[in-house]
Amino acid sequence: MKFQITLVLFLIHSVSYSQQFYFGSDLSYTNMMEDCGAVFKEDNAPKEVYRIFSDNGFNLARFRLWYEPTWQNSLVQPGGVKSQYHDFEDVKEGISRAKAAGMQVMLDIHFSNFWTDPAKQIIPPAWVGVATNITALKDSVYNYVTKVLTALNSDSLMPEIVKIGNENNSGILRHTTLTSTYTASGSVSSDWSRHAQLYNIAIKAVRDVSLTTSIKPKISLHYAGTSSLSWWYQNIISNGVTDFDIIGFSYYYAWHSGSITNLGNVINTMKTSFPGYEVMVVETGYLWSSQNYDALGNIITTPDPQYLPVIPEKQREYMVDMTREVMKAGGTGIIFWEPAWVSTPCRTPWGQGSSQEHVAFFEVDNYNFMANGAGTWPLSEHFSDLTTHKVTFKVDMTGTEAPNGAWITGTFTGTDWQILPMVSEGNNIFSFTTYLHAGDSGAYYFLNDSSWTARETVPAACAAWWNTDRGYKIGETNVVYTSKWGTCDPIGPPSEVNVTFKVDMTGQDVSNNVWITGSFTGSSWKILRMSPEANNIFSYTTKMHPGDSGAFYFMNDDVWGKRESVPSACAPWWGSDRGYKIGEKDTTYGFLWGSCLGLGEYNPVEDKFVSTRHELRVFPNPCNGMLNINYRSSGEPIRLEIFNLNGKILKSIFPDPLLDGITLDIHELLPGIYFLRLSHGKELIYRKIVRCE
């Protein structure tokens, strides 16, 4: 049941949480998406998009403001699309619509014409002339903030929160140039005493304007990540920036890693270390699909392994669990980044479409609001009592007719024993999640339809209630109950998983196709043909059992002897062959032909998959001399290395750990194929790069 919530301020009533909590969404792209052809719907009927959010419990909308984003004029957009967005007029429209829908507003002032983040804090060209004149630059900042807020207030659009800057890990207003590849260059200063003066003058402008306004905006700062969060805020405070209200930070599992429990610990630490300040996750996001539905690459691609499979219901579960943890730790809000950035014909600097269509709260094809996804995460039913524990019931329906899916009922569903649908997790596994108190106990059973006559027959050996129903008893921790339909057997590991082998044949002769052989092909080691993919990649997929292990190698002909020569460092079988060991999840083994270099996430030297939370991006690739490298840094030391096909290191760079990207000049490299490696502690990420003529 969905509750309609239209309160401007959403109050949570529970034993452990009773203060105002912000359920926020960054809706900066929303106006543009409508101009680009998106007609947002709920229950398949067109509806004012801001009302969709407020009716589903959101009480805060965030909007980014750029100074003069004229760079957008060069993008070729469909007819009817304005030349610029995220400027004052666009933000003013968004604030007006959000407030009309009953939401408060956070104004996100980037102090730039472009996105700012740990790698880019580009000064507006109009201010570059005074970039090194701190007195004149402060004057520009003060006048700008004053002008913006005064104009908004005159139209009754004063924001409730003003965020000074965006992901300012490396400082504020510190670069002079936006390059042709949309990266930053020309660092003015890394002096924190300078940055502090700019923060303070912007804060003063907010306070001065609010002296005569009815809405007195809170002020937030913004750091990206959790690793050096305490250091950053202590540093900024030590430099004299103290007159703000909210310790804001970004947290994405895909880039910052760490469990939801760890996030709660971070917030607890910040609350203890910096009393008097609110702590807020001012930017986050989580995916509901691993698929890319358009030509623009997805940004968020790594799910939390505790929330698999990647489906809309798990996106909602992740956000609910995150919010409960943030509340219990004393945080005051969460803002989801760009849940209305759907796929349209419009373009960004990097291509056509959206990088968030697999994260947005709307169906890809028709822009209908997905009630089973994270768009309903703020509803009060999830947070009425934070003293409860998460309880998950799972059933394996293998061998059972269930054309309408699986269902569950029990004492926890209410005195009337409602029949509730379960979520399909694939492989005939269905789940249902709820929240119960320690000490709660009762009965339940599964059904293969929404009818009372569709119930399972529970064997007497596990019919703990009334000799007919399964039983549960809740302890002090989260718990998962699993069963195979109509049996006392728990759900075990899968009998089979998908295993994919991939090889990069760049520079090799593939005129006779590409082949694979190994112990998995039978005792006679059959030679099997691989399928071509893009970029000289060939693949072969089969099914194996968890625990299987053995040898394999690639061939460029179906004749024995036409095989690759595997380096001894990655030839665990007989010193000549590659090896595999199958776990309980679908797995991909990928390599460069005749090399230990892995493709994607696999680290062949350590014989395991490694985290890719840095989301290493390299562009343009191929390139003719200047290579842009973007990654998410945790503030810890990073090494970037470029080496050739023989493994010789040609470049080794230690970038500033507070930045999230650099631009490399590789003109000295001859045209050809090379590899880039990012090293971060035990994490290794590889990317193939091509230096063209």
> Is 563 among the domain residues?
yes
Q: Average pLDDT for residues 165-189, to the nearest whole number?
A: 93
Residues 521 and 374 in one domain: no
Distance CA 665, CA 626 (A): 5
> Is 1 among the domain residues?
no
- The answer to whether 167 is a known catalytic residue is yes
User: Percentage of the chain surpassing pLDDT 90?
Assistant: 71
Tokens of 19: 């203060």
Is the backbone peptide bond immediately before 622 cis, with ω within 30 degrees of 0? yes
> Is 63 among the domain residues?
yes
pLDDT class for 659, splitting at 50, 70, 90? low
Catalytic residue among 167, 317, 338, 357: 167
How far is C-alpha 214 from the chain's CA centre? 37
Pairing of strands 441-447, 470-473: antiparallel
Rounded to the nearest 10°, the torsion over CA 117, 119, 125, 130 is 100
Residues 6+ apart with CB under 8 A from 72: 83, 84, 85
Question: Which of 609, 630, 653 marks a domain boundary?
Answer: 609
* DSSP string across 241-281: ----SEEEEE--HHHH---HHHHHHHHHHHHHHSTTSEEEE
C-beta of residue 481 within 8 angstroms of C-beta of residue 491: no
pLDDT class for 474, splitting at 50, 70, 90? very high
> First and final CA of the chain: distance in angstroms?
61
Tell me the CATH number at 622. 2.60.40.3080
Question: What's residue 693's pLDDT?
Answer: 66
Question: What's residue 681's pLDDT?
Answer: 61
Judge whether residue 634 has pLDDT over 70. Answer: no
CB atoms within 10 A of CB 485: 21
Question: What's residue 467's pLDDT?
Answer: 96
> Is 9 among the domain residues?
no
C-beta of residue 678 within 8 angstroms of C-beta of residue 688: no
pLDDT class for 60, splitting at 50, 70, 90? very high
Catalytic residue among 283, 313, 338, 456: 283
> Is 118 among the domain residues?
yes
Order across the sheet with 470-473: list the strands: 420-421, 407-410, 441-447, 470-473
Question: Which of 484, 502, 528 marks a domain boundary?
Answer: 484
Question: What's residue 182's pLDDT?
Answer: 87
> Is 10 among the domain residues?
no
Residues 203 and 326 in one domain: yes
Judge whether residue 378 has pLDDT over 70. Answer: yes
CB atoms within 10 A of CB 568: 9
Mean residue pLDDT of the chain comes to: 90
Question: Which of 577, 609, 641 marks a domain boundary?
Answer: 609
Question: What's residue 390's pLDDT?
Answer: 96
Residues 549 and 400 in one domain: no
Question: What's residue 656's pLDDT?
Answer: 67
Residues 535 and 572 in one domain: yes
Question: What's residue 679's pLDDT?
Answer: 76
Question: What's residue 562's pLDDT?
Answer: 95
* Weakest-pLDDT range from 237-246, 494-503, 652-661: 652-661
Mean pLDDT is highest, among 267-281, 287-301, 497-511, 546-560, for 267-281
Question: What's residue 615's pLDDT?
Answer: 58
Question: What's residue 391's pLDDT?
Answer: 97
pLDDT class for 588, splitting at 50, 70, 90? confident
- The answer to whether 283 is a known catalytic residue is yes
Distance CA 263, CA 634 (A): 14
Q: Average pLDDT for residues 442-447, to the nearest whole number?
A: 98
Total domain count, the chain: 4
Residues 341 and 276 in one domain: yes
Residues 153 and 295 in one domain: yes
Residues 517 and 579 in one domain: yes
> Is 253 among the domain residues?
yes
Residues 309 and 375 in one domain: yes
Range of the domain at 201: 22-381
Q: Average pLDDT for residues 422-428, to the nearest whole number?
A: 93
Residues 348 and 409 in one domain: no
Residues 407 and 445 in one domain: yes
Residues 198 and 86 in one domain: yes
